Structures are given as C-alpha cells and as structure tokens.
Amino acid sequence: MQAALGGRQGDIMDLGLAGKKALVTGGTKGIGGCIAEHLAREGAAVAVCARNPDEVAATVAHLRGMGVPATGRAVDVTDGPALAAWVADAATEMGGLDIVIPNVSALAISNDDAGWKAGFETDMMGTVHTIEAALPYLHESTCGAIVIIASVSGREIDFAAGPYGAFKAALIHYAQGLALNLAPKNIRANTVSPGNTYFPGGVWERIEQHMPDLFAKALSLNPTGRMGRPEEMARAAVFLASPAASFITGTNLVVDGALTRGVQF
C-alpha cells in the first residue's frame, strides 16, 4: 500500500462558505465524502445522497456533529424522477441551494454495451439530471456554483479508455457549455479532474489487491511516487465551489501530481 504523505487533513481555508447550502451526489465516501466534510468544515449546510441508506445516515450524523445543518437520502442517480425529487426536497429543507457537486460515477471500464449504458446513465445523465433539478434554486442564489467531478481519463487516453474516459470528457465539455450559458445569470460551472486517487474501499485499493501488476504500473507513472488522496481532490472542488473563486468559470482543474503529460492551455 502506498504511504500516506503530507498535510493537515483538518485545514480550514476560510473561503466564504459559511451559511451557504451545498448538495453533493455520492457524498458518503471517497472524494464525495471528503467534499461534503470540507464543505461542512467551511460552515456550509450540506445535503448528500448515495445508494446505501446506512452510509447516508452515518454521513448526515457526522456532518451534523460538525455543527452544520445536514440532510441526506438514499438515491440511485440513474432514477431521474427520484433524483429530481431529492434535489427539490433538499433545497426546501436547507432553504435554497448555492452549490451543486455531481460526483457519482459508475466507474464503467468494460468496453461493452453494459459498460456504455452504465456510464451514460450514471455519469452523464445522473449529472445532467442533478444540475437540471438544481438550476431553479441556483438562479435564486447570489453565488451559484456547479462543480462536476470529471477525471484525467477525460483528457488523456489511458487504461480507462472507453465508456469511463469518454463520458468524463463529455462532462468537461458539458460544464464549459454551462459556464458560457449561465455566466449572465451569475452561476459558475467548472470541473475537477482527479488523477488516480487511493483510499480504503476505493477502486485503487481493489486493484492493488487483485491486479497488482496494473497497480504497480499506475503508481510508476506518477512522478510524485504516489497516488492522490481524496482530501486533495476535495479541497480543489470546494475552492472552485466557493465565493473565493468568484471569477473562475469554464475551467477544468487537473489535480493529478503531474500524472498527465498533455499541456493544458
């Protein structure tokens, strides 16, 4: 297992998020769980969803224990009507929405019909339906922000070429279109593209255990000698969601420790 390196994980950035209302899909573990926690550390109210009701309940209790309003529901983001109903209910419960962070991914790697269908319904349409349901509330915010969690696989061809990479690339394109069209409404839209991110229970831990050659190859590609941590991805997403990033929109922020080689202009 790679060594855990650097940084105080409880840092507060003071980004002007106190009192803001944020919604995170897939917000119970991994990158999404860290995003929800960092938003709460900054004083934001947080709504989370995931498919496991016990994990949702535990996350909501944890966030409330940090002294902020929190709510959550077990939702499958491929169920458009259920997803829209939860977004509306969360906005009503919190008194509005300022921030929406679609984070859920099917992690569809297999290049078959099932993989393409899962990637489209979860990554693509799950994101679109979340944002469409949230837009009426974001229009009422004075600092509306959308941050979509994409991937470095959306900008370079790697082992995840196929549905995962293709739909992550599509999400970056979608976010930049949102940025242009929503700028006059004072709503920003950006993406964060994480590199390989290691955490207990995550995909890279499973690969380490069951596909050690692939894990070793992936680890060797990063000049830092390690994979990212979910809190490192979360800090980037929370910054872009915050009023501190008030003039940043249409940006794809790559957080990968120099893993990717392409120059991003």
Residue 107: closest CA among 157, 48, 153, 170: 153
> Count of alpha carbons within 13 Å of 44, Cβ hemisphere only?
31
Residue 152 and residue 156: Cα distance in Å, rounded?
6
Residue 61: closest CA among 50, 48, 51: 48
- The alpha carbon dihedral of 151, 262, 231, 210 has a sign of positive
| Residue 190, H or E segment | strand 187-194
Which DSSP symbol is given to 78? T
DSSP per-residue codes, 209-257:
HH-HHHHHHHHHH-TTSS-B-HHHHHHHHHHHHSGGGTT--S-EEEEST
Tally of residues, the chain: 265
Query: Active-site residue 174, yes or no?
Result: no
- Is 242 within 8 Å of 235 (Cβ atoms)? no
User: In sequence order, which residues have a C-beta less than 8 Å from that of residue 31 and are 6 or more positions away?
Assistant: 103, 149, 194, 197, 230, 233, 234, 237
From 137, 164, 174, 198, the catalytic residue: 164
Q: Residue 49's beta-bridge partner residues?
A: 25, 73
Residue positions annotated with a catalytic role: 164
